[in-house]
Amino acid sequence: MSGDQNADANRDLISALGRLPVPILAVDGRGTLRPMNRAGTDLVRDEGLLATMPATPATHPLLGLIASIMSGQSMTSAELQFPSGRSFRCDISRRSERGGGRLLLLVLHPAHDRTEIYDQFDLTDRERQVAELLARGQTSDEICEAMSIGINTLKTHVANLLAKTATRTRAELVARLLER
């Protein structure tokens, strides 16, 4: 790709990020927090977040999460409750072992409280966990790893979920849980 094509691709990427309705934030190797779109800018402003990581322990859950990742903790998602009362699920780009100076991306999705739905179907705590991970698009392997369970245990939870919700497939199950 030529320099002009790279510049065009970068402009197109920035434009596409700007149109996404969820906050996207970037953190560079120095810990500078930068909104990557309008929703990110609004979030940083509304939550009173500083443009750089504080030198003192983080007082905001998002800054605490960033500090943990910057110090080497490996994670791909986290649930955050902000002081404003808003809840988010934060998807985190993975960092390579050599990626200390590389850009870290955070995509924040408003968390949905599905307690009433889960109560309606009388789901157990573990079934609720499986349902949440399925709703996030996690694979069986990812769910097993996240929950520290074997594939047969996962199959049992999924079978119970399908039976309790009167659905036949995982896609139908997720649609049922999200439609309410």
pLDDT of 56 above 50: no
Instruction: Looking at the structure, tell me whether residues 119 and 105 fall in a common domain.
Output: no
- Residue 151's CATH number: 1.10.10.10
Rounded CA-CA distance 150/128 in Å is 17
Instruction: Looking at the structure, tell me whether residues 49 and 69 fall in a common domain.
Output: yes
Q: Which of 108, 87, 89 is nearest to 22 (CA)?
A: 108
pLDDT of 27 above 60: yes
Report the percentage of the chain scoring pLDDT > 70.
Answer: 88
Instruction: Looking at the structure, tell me whether residues 98 and 75 fall in a common domain.
Output: yes
**19: β partners:** none
Per-position DSSP letters for 35-100, written without gaps between them? E-SHHHHHHHHHHT--SB--SSPP-SHHHHHHHHHHTT---SEEEEE-TTS-EEEEEE----TTGG
Residue 133 CB coordination number (10 Å): 19
Instruction: Looking at the structure, tell me whether residues 98 and 144 fall in a common domain.
Output: no
Sheet harboring 87-92: ordered strands across? 33-35, 24-27, 104-110, 87-92, 77-81
Domain of 133 in residue numbering reads as: 115-179
Domain count, the chain: 2
Instruction: Looking at the structure, tell me whether residues 138 and 158 fall in a common domain.
Output: yes
pLDDT of 54 above 70: no
> pLDDT category, 86, cuts 50, 70, 90?
confident
Nearest-5° Cα angle at 76, 117 to 119 = 10
Domain edge (last residue) among 110, 139, 170: 110
Instruction: Looking at the structure, tell me whether residues 19 and 71 fall in a common domain.
Output: yes
User: What are residue 34's phi and psi, to 5 degrees?
Assistant: -130, 125
Is the pTM above the cut of 0.85? Answer: no
pLDDT given at position 130: 93
pLDDT given at position 35: 92
Residue 120 CB coordination number (10 Å): 13
pLDDT in tens, 90-139: 988 865 555 555 778 899 988 777 778 888 899 998 999 999 888 878 89
Mean pLDDT of the chain: 83
